[in-house]
DNA sequence: CTCTTTATAGTCCTACTGACTATTAAGGAG
DNA sequence: CTCCTTAATAGTCAGTAGGACTATAAAGAG
């Protein structure tokens, strides 16, 4: 790798794939597009596209995210590189190396198909059978990563609107992990972690609630949880 | 991303870069090659090279690892994808997207330059000034990742020979984290984590030791640490 | 007004861990 | 051989985090 001219190399197409996750109707949902052409015509796929000549993968991912969600301002959303998939046969048409990103959205409006792709839609994480290409694996990796990061980072607030209740925050953990948490213990842990959330000055929330109105919180300045908030029981958090 | 023919895309060169870490002489050391040509002639760089047409990035990384270290059997070494670096200007000659990997080695023989590259050498992690390209950042990311994974995974044994003492294992933590740990507490924690290490049937080690001979252990079947072994004090473990 | 629902407050009790002290078993210096 | 140093191993003790659980408060539904 000292002088490129001395070495032959094959040029690859480089794309980004997006695993965009949100919580709607109490379920973990994914943004998917339906493929209209072969291969995998009719299958659901993760949104994505080519990295343009003057873009970094990160820039391309954020551009695609804006196009596929139709959101005007996508700058505040959590976007994080997941990993790169480069198996030679992952796309039957040509050699494509794909840099996968995970994005987390709070409220999740139904996407208006304002981009180049066919209309993207929210679908339940466990819902639609096998995805196109290796997207099942990418999506599973994204879910695994997000579940793990909930334990030791403040990532959960990325699923919440700017102001949220501790009940909503707890539902994020429960939905992603697929477990139930003890409410008093969850409150105690979150409030004891300085910088995780901070109370909104003078507010409570009543409108839609069926029970006692809950206090509102905002995401705090912290990014890491010390000590972590471990998921209950079951052993094994590989990789 | 439904039909590639409809979209223009630029072909990129795809490479792998390796952050190969080991512990030698009580210090964290990195495998580096000296660049002979511009750009960055004379600077140290991470070993790496092009992904070949029929290779995945993972395969290419393992091939480069074997070439650069000169080790005959590289199959047992810990190799893990770090992340992908794709800034358009990261290589002044052309557009290169690089998939970075982190590898951990136990004993660390001085590499015999048996590959295509100029002789690779072990250098202290904090040693050689600025590296070529964006390799300083890649190396820092690798160090950060390894430090974080020591907390919640059994990765530390990847730095150790097949049979090791708990003192050696502790030195891995101390060297990577740059902190000192309490020895009795470390022992208690490691031995209490089932599957982390297991005692070698009937053996102790005396030869080189200045003190009481230590018992030998092997890596156990576990991959994750529950609960984690957190580094002392200082807050903040970002990303 | 009562029941249901959700938020919030507080109490045990156990396990984990940080900070120690003590003991054992080598090698080295005299 | 004896003392000293070094490192491994054993054990103690207290503070704390967290799991399980009970109790109270404040809304809406009927």
User: Average of pLDDT values for B183-195?
Assistant: 97
What's the Å distance between residue B188 CA and nucleotide C20 C1'?
15
Burial of B152 (0-12, 13-18, 19+ CB in 10 A): buried
Give B230's contacts in chain A (Cβ within 8 Å).
226-227
Q: What pairs with residue B224 in β-bridges? A: B153
Residue by residue, pLDDT tens for chain A (239 residues) are: 444 554 567 789 999 999 999 999 999 999 999 999 989 999 999 999 999 999 999 999 999 999 999 888 899 999 999 999 999 999 999 999 999 999 999 977 777 655 555 689 999 999 777 999 999 999 999 999 999 999 999 999 999 999 999 999 999 999 999 999 999 999 999 999 999 999 998 766 666 678 899 999 999 999 999 899 999 865 433 33
CB contact under 8 A, A2 and B223: no
pLDDT tens digits for B126-155?
977 799 999 999 999 999 999 999 999 999
Q: Which residue, among B81, B142, B107, has the nearest Cα to B22 in the 3D structure?
A: B107
User: What's the rounded mean pLDDT across residues B60-74?
Assistant: 92
Q: Using one digit for the tens of pLDDT, what is the confidence trace for B5-15?
A: 545 677 899 99
Q: Which nucleotides of C are covered by protein (CB under 7 A)?
A: 4-11, 16-22, 24-28
From CA B2, how far away is CA A222, in angstroms rounded? 40
Confidence at residue B213, expressed as pLDDT on a 0 to 100 scale: 92
**pLDDT of res. A113:** 57
Alpha helices, H only, A21-165: 57-69, 135-152
Q: Tell me the average pLDDT of chain B.
A: 89
Q: Which nucleotide is nearest to B181 (CA to C1')?
A: C18
Please state the length of chain B: 239
Extract the runs of DSSP E, i.e. beta strands, from chain B: 13-24, 27-34, 44-45, 48-50, 78-85, 96-104, 120-124, 164-165, 197-205, 214-219
What Rg do the C-alpha atoms of chain B give, in angstroms? 20
Residue B102 confidence (pLDDT) above 80: yes
| E-strand stretches of A65-213 | 78-85, 96-104, 120-124, 197-205
* Among B163, B170, B154, residue whose Cα is nearest residue B202: B163
Rounded to the nearest angstrom, the minimum Cα separation between B43 and chain A is: 11
Model pTM above 0.95: no
All residues of chain A having their beta carbon less than 8 Å from the beta carbon of residue B12 are: 11-14, 51, 97
Give the count of alpha carbons within 13 A of A183, CB side only.
Answer: 6
In sequence order, the β-bridge partners of residue A98 are A15, A85
The answer to whether A214 CB is within 7 Å of strand C is yes
Across the interface, do B81 and A83 touch by the CB < 8 Å criterion?
yes
Tell which residue, A147, A162, A177, A175, has the closest CA to residue A220. Answer: A162
Closest CA-bearing residue to C1' of D10: B184
pLDDT value at position A238?
33
The SS3 call for residue A105 is coil
Please give residues of chain A from 146 to 175 whose alpha-adjacent beta carbon (CB) lies under 7 Å from any atom of strand C: 165-167
Q: Which residues contact B84 (CB under 8 A, 6 or more apart)?
A: A57, A81, A83, A84, A99, B97, B98, B99, B100
Rounded alpha-carbon distances, angstroms, from residue B204 to B5, B26, B41, B165, B169: 66, 22, 49, 9, 16
Distance in angstroms: CA B31, C1' D29: 69
Does pLDDT of B239 surpass 70?
A: no
How many CB atoms neighbour CB A97 within 10 A?
24
Which residues of B fall within a CB distance of 8 Å from A81?
83-84
């Amino acid at each position: 790798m000292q002088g490129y001219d001395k070495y032959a190399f094959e040029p690859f197409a480089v794309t980004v794939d997006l695993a965009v996750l949100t919580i709607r109707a109490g379920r973990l949902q994914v943004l998917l597009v339906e493929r209209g052409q072969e291969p995998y015509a009719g299958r659901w796929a993760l949104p994505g596209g080519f990295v343009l000549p003057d873009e970094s993968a990160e820039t391309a991912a954020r551009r695609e995210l804006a196009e596929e969600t139709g959101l005007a301002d996508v700058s505040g959303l959590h976007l994080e590189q997941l990993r790169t998939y480069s198996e030679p046969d992952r796309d039957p048409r040509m050699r494509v190396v794909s840099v996968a990103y995970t994005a987390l959205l709070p409220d999740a409006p139904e996407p208006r198909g304002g981009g180049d792709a066919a209309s993207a839609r929210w679908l339940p994480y466990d819902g639609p059978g096998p995805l196109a290409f290796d997207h099942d694996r990418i999506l599973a990796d994204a879910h695994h990563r997000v579940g793990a990061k909930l334990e030791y980072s403040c990532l959960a607030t990325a699923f919440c609107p700017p102001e949220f209740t501790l009940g909503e925050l707890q539902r994020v953990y429960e939905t992603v992990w697929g477990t139930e948490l003890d409410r008093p213990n969850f409150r105690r842990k979150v409030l004891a972690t300085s910088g995780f959330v901070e109370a909104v000055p003078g507010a409570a929330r009543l409108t839609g609630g069926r029970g006692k109105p809950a206090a509102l919180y905002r995401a705090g300045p912290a990014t890491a949880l010390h000590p972590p908030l471990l998921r209950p029981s079951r052993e094994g958090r590989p990789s």
